[in-house]
Amino acid sequence: MQKLSRRDLIRASAAIVVGFSLGTRANAQDTAAKSLDPDQVDSFLAIHRDGSVTVYMSRVDVGTGMLIAIPQMVAEELGIPAERISVVEGDTALTPDTGGTGGSAGLTRGGVEIRQAAATARRALDKSGPADRFNLRSDPKAPLKDPSTYTVVGKSLPRPDVPGKCTGRTAYLQDHTVPGMLHGRVVRPPAIGAKLLSVDEASIKAIPGARIVRSGNFLAIVAKDEWAAVRGARELKATWSEWKELPGSDRLEQHIRDTPIDKDQSIVGKGDAKQALNASAKQLKATYFWPFQSHASLAPCCAIADVRDDSATIWSSTQGTHALRNNLTKLFSLPAGKTRVIFMPGAGSYGGNGNDDAAADAVLLSKLVHSPVRVQWMRHDEHGWDPKGPAQLLDLRAGLDANGHISAWETQMWVPTTTPGVRAFIAADLAGIDQDHAQSPGGVMNNADPPYPVPHVSVTAHWVKTTPLKISNLRAPGRIGNAFAVESFTDELAAAAGADPVAFRLRGMTDPRAIAVIERATQMIGWQPRPSPNPTRGVGRGFAYVRYNQALNYIAIAMEVAVDGKTGKIAVRRVTCAHDSGLVVNPDALRNQVEGCIVQTLSRTIHEEVKFDQSHVTSVDWASYPILTFPEVPAIDVAVLNHPELPILGAGEGATAPVAAALGNAIFDATGVRLRRAPFRTVAFA
Amino acid sequence: MYCSHPHRYGSLVYHRADADVEKSVKWNVSGEANMPTYNFQVNGRAVSVESWDPSQPLLYLLRNSLDLHAAKFGCGLGQCGACTVLLDGKPVRSCLTPVSQAAGRKVTTLEGLGTPENPDPIQAAFIAEQASQCGYCTNGMIMSARGLLNQTPHPSPDQVKQSLAGNLCRCGTHTRILAAVMKASKA
């Protein structure tokens, strides 16, 4: 292949009048000519006269490093510096729909498509020279650069969004305004299913410009002044009916066992686990529980909607602009083909937090008051009403043979079933608009079998029909709870066999990548082989290993803890992690994600549980739903094992999976107490 | 660097620190005449803002009247720290600070510390350490750290941890934030 120098490309591109040098604020006529066909190179890339390049992607950067990783991948294929590449993300009028953000798939199912478009573009420029537009299908066979010659991919280039964030210059969604915009605040019912009986309009008479908006049970305040909207929503008096149909979080485990089952499904069936269990020399069983948890985004969700007769524009921090556009258009009868959702950055969302619901609130309000409306939730709306990561219940049984090897394993899990359609919007339910009430827990059956050579394994999912609280994807859905159970129980088996927990796991293991991460993480922490618990009480170390989704990332985590004998307080002192996700595009950005996975999951494991009574969620702020604070944060060392010759596996969530088990195992080592329910909070031991 | 937005509520009177009233933009949707005015300094400049409610938190006036968006609404309860600004050099939660309490005092926001081209040493250290993911907490982290280093220029890591105990980060960027503050303290 003839090599195209950077100068050639810039010269060539001077003649390429692609003409989409639009920001995200482009107006409707500017966007009309932009190709959105995901098969077309022009949909993903525009090369401008000055040699700069714009990339268009439907997947968005939610603090995850996509804004540098994608330019690095494109820069590598085009042979230009990454700094010349800017990204337009999540705009239904500008970006081709290659799916929403999630599942650690920003690079594996978004970036690789853009990379292929760039490789196709490069080949066209090599062959035919300049052109007005590529008008070219992205060719899956267009040759990619040989990874051994990479000069941009694999480098820790700084993220372009960080300087703005650190100097207050980044325009977040929360900072955006549109002319004539009103501020909206929602007034949710005090009980989830309560009906609005009456509203006392006089109760907010003293608040200037505050206006009550009601549609069925949907209640809100709008005002030109944001503080008037806040005070109006806070002080508005309304009467609601009683509603007490939740089981209460205190009896959640029994409630899950009592919930009707949609279907039972065999997830893994290898050998004859039942027979082998009965034949085993030693049998263990245990029940593990993972609670409802909140996305607990640092910003309450926000959205701006400008709904007019002939068009609608919605600004949102949603992770799925295109799906949101389609769902809102259908549900609120917005102008078909003239409804646009534009992503703007917000606080980390970690999956399907309340952003889509806030967008629906804003759309409904904009329709009702005929003005653009900005809705921002209050803290209690966020904690109280974001869709939750579901609770999980797992019954485990396993057998050891006479040599202390795992001979049989059985997992039975109770997890929410999947029903087709769209997750219901709160606003539509309250306003009495007919809609889907789909439930999509998101791959919660993964990582429920031991990643070790066990001859007889059975994993069964009992898909329960309903959940007390509405659910959605929360970072690594199900995998954290499952790996907590599986890797803690593996530790229980190692202890029962009197074996060192790491040596026990390595028995019979043959995959060199698995062995590499296990050895690396344990070397980094200075692991000394011995069985748990530690003869010295109060301090301990723990280990866990996960291969994410059975076939993706290899992650090993070791940690040291101290547990206070008087207060029971858990102090995580040090965490080491070895992480293999194939080709690494940006090692430092990846490390940032892995560190975040570790800290966030320590938080979820030690502190987090959504509490609810029979009417509503009662953990509605940071005092009742605490998360990890600075004094509790350990030292963290992450080893990134790069395999440039292998496919990218994504790194946004894998490292969450082993954290809870590694901590539980370390606490067992320190105290002899086995924790099988999260959150751990404190540990009582003698 | 400030500009008024006529579509925003409230009125804004800009002063130069050394001059009398120069320019006045009055626009009051509530129709109330003569709303109380609060005078204070923001990032070295004298400002007057009007508010119909003396208990209105400073945060809303910074964001909506003065167009300073770095301080963020996170909880409105003083629990998360995203709204932190400096009042006479000390970190406060602007979501709980009534505008009446700011009168006559000096407010510093993240915009006032430095720019991407000329950052404050803490901002520079945060950028060098890539100590931000979503960045929504970053304002509070840097402003709280600035308050700490104003008082204690060379803190121990434990002092940094304790002084940031009321600043929440949901993305889990803590170890980088600690490294950045320590780096800035040695700069």
Each residue of A619-663: pLDDT tens digit?
999 999 999 999 999 999 999 999 999 999 989 999 999 999 999
Long-range Cβ contact pairs of B85-90 (< 8 A, separation 24 or more): B85/B58, B85/B109, B85/B110, B85/B143, B86/B143, B86/B146, B86/B147, B86/B150, B89/B147, B89/B150, B90/B147, B90/B150
Closest approach of B79 to chain A, Cα-based (Å): 6
Closest approach of B6 to chain A, Cα-based (Å): 9
d(CA A251, CA A240): 26
Q: Is the pLDDT of residue B30 over 50?
A: no
Tokens of B51: 């508010």
Q: Is the pLDDT of residue A24 over 70?
A: no
* Residue of chain A minimizing CA distance to B164: A630
Compute the average pLDDT of residues B63-89: 98
* pLDDT at site B14: 31
B 30-59 residues inside an 8 A Cβ radius of A:
30-32, 51-53, 56-57
Do residues A4 and A79 make contact, with C-beta atoms less than 8 angstroms apart? yes
* pLDDT at site A51: 87
Half-sphere exposure at residue A388, Cβ-oriented, CA atoms within 13 angstroms = 26
CB contact under 8 A, A174 and B73: yes
Q: Is the pLDDT of residue B17 over 50?
A: no
d(CA A12, CA A440): 48
Closest approach of B22 to chain A, Cα-based (Å): 25
* pLDDT at site A5: 47
On chain A, the residues whose CB falls within 8 A of the CB of B70 are 167-168
Percentage above 70 pLDDT, chain A: 95
Q: Which residues, 6 or more positions from A388, have their beta carbon under 8 angstroms from its beta carbon? A: A292, A293, A294, A469, A470, A471, A472, A474, A610
Instruction: Select the more confidently predicted residue: A686 or B126.
Output: B126
* pLDDT at site B33: 56
Mean pLDDT of the residues in chain A: 94
Each residue of A221-248: pLDDT tens digit?
999 999 999 999 999 999 999 999 999 9
Q: Is the pLDDT of residue B90 over 50?
A: yes
* pLDDT at site A2: 39
* pLDDT at site A15: 33
Q: Is the pLDDT of residue A277 over 60?
A: yes
Do residues B39 and B103 make contact, with C-beta atoms less than 8 angstroms apart? yes
What is the residue-wise DSSP string for A569-624? BEEEEEEEEEEE-BS-S-HHHHHHHHHHHHHHHHHHHHT----B-SSSB---STTT
On chain A, the residues whose CB falls within 8 A of the CB of B7 are 177, 179-181
Compute the average pLDDT of residues B124-148: 98
Closest approach of A301 to chain B, Cα-based (Å): 10
Q: CATH for B114-186, among 1.10.150.120, 3.40.50.1980, 1.10.1060.10, 3.30.70.1400?
A: 1.10.150.120
* pLDDT at site A350: 97
DSSP single-letter state for residue A368: H
Helix (H, G, I), strand (E, B) or coil at A539: strand
pTM of the full structure:
0.94
Angle, CA of A596, A601 and A603, to the nearest 5°: 100
Helix (H, G, I), strand (E, B) or coil at A568: coil
d(CA A90, CA A13): 25
* pLDDT at site A31: 64
Give the DSSP H or E segment for A556: strand A554-563
* pLDDT at site A558: 99
Given pLDDT bands bounded at 50, 70 and 90, which one contains residue B51? very high
On chain A, the residues whose CB falls within 8 A of the CB of B31 are 208
Name the residue facing B174 among A224, A231, A599 (closest C-beta). A599
* Residue of chain B minimizing CA distance to A348: B134
Compute the average pLDDT of residues B103-129: 97
On chain A, the residues whose CB falls within 8 A of the CB of B115 are 167, 169
Sheet with A373-376, strands from edge to edge, namely A211-215, A218-223, A182-186, A373-376, A302-307, A312-316, A339-343
Name the residue facing B116 among A164, A175, A596 (closest C-beta). A164
* pLDDT at site A107: 87
CATH superfamily of B12-112: Beta-grasp domain (3.10.20.30)
* pLDDT at site A25: 41
d(CA B172, CA A600): 5
Each residue of B160-179: pLDDT tens digit?
999 999 999 999 999 999 99
Best of B170, B178, B181 to disrupt the A interface (most A CBs within 10 Å) is: B170
| Partner A contacted by B111 (CB < 8 A) | yes
CB contact under 8 A, A298 and B172: no
Q: Is the pLDDT of residue B118 over 60?
A: yes
Helix (H, G, I), strand (E, B) or coil at A659: helix
Compute the average pLDDT of residues A276-290: 98
Name the residue facing A166 among B74, B138, B166 (closest C-beta). B138
Instruction: Select the more confidently predicted residue: B158 or A29.
Output: B158
Closest approach of A76 to chain B, Cα-based (Å): 23
Q: What Rg, from alpha-carbon coordinates, does chain A have?
A: 27
Q: Is the pLDDT of residue A198 over 50?
A: yes
User: Which is it for strands A182-186 and A218-223: parallel, antiparallel or unpaired?
Assistant: antiparallel
ipTM of the complex: 0.95
* Residue of chain B minimizing CA distance to A231: B56
Name the residue facing B130 among A159, A209, A599 (closest C-beta). A159
* Residue of chain A minimizing CA distance to B55: A227
Ramachandran sector of residue A442 (left: φ over 0; alpha: ψ -120 to 50; beta: rest): left
The domains of chain A, with CATH numbers, are 6-167 (3.30.365), 176-242+295-385 (3.30.365.10), 251-292+389-671 (3.30.365.10)
Q: Is the pLDDT of residue A79 over 50?
A: yes
Compute the average pLDDT of residues B5-17: 31
CB contact under 8 A, B79 and A623: yes
* pLDDT at site B32: 52
Q: Is the pLDDT of residue B2 over 60?
A: no
On chain A, the residues whose CB falls within 8 A of the CB of B167 are 630
Compute the average pLDDT of residues A345-370: 98
CB contact under 8 A, A298 and B134: yes
* pLDDT at site A130: 64
* pLDDT at site B27: 33
Do residues A159 and B100 make contact, with C-beta atoms less than 8 angstroms apart? no
CB contact under 8 A, A298 and B169: yes
Q: Which residues, 6 or more positions from B45, have their beta carbon under 8 angstroms from its beta carbon? A: B2, B14, B15, B16, B17
Domain spans of chain B? 12-112, 114-186
* pLDDT at site A11: 43
* pLDDT at site B52: 96
Chain A and chain B share a number of CB contacts under 8 A equal to 202
B 49-108 residues inside an 8 A Cβ radius of A:
51-53, 56-57, 60, 63-64, 68-70, 72-77, 79-80, 82
* Residue of chain B minimizing CA distance to A604: B170
Q: Is the pLDDT of residue A36 over 80?
A: yes
d(CA A396, CA A412): 6
Scan for tokens 């993972």, then name that residue: A290
d(CA A406, CA B174): 39
Closest approach of A668 to chain B, Cα-based (Å): 25
Compute the average pLDDT of residues A440-451: 96
* pLDDT at site A30: 55
Query: Looking at A96-105, A414-423, A623-632, B41-50, which range is the least confident one?
Result: A96-105
CB contact under 8 A, A168 and B73: no
CB contact under 8 A, B173 and A592: yes
CB A4: neighbour CB atoms within 10 A? 19
Best of B56, B136, B148 to disrupt the A interface (most A CBs within 10 Å) is: B136
Closest approach of B139 to chain A, Cα-based (Å): 7
Give the DSSP H or E segment for A524: helix A512-525
Tokens of A678: 């999260």
Q: Is the pLDDT of residue A482 over 60?
A: yes
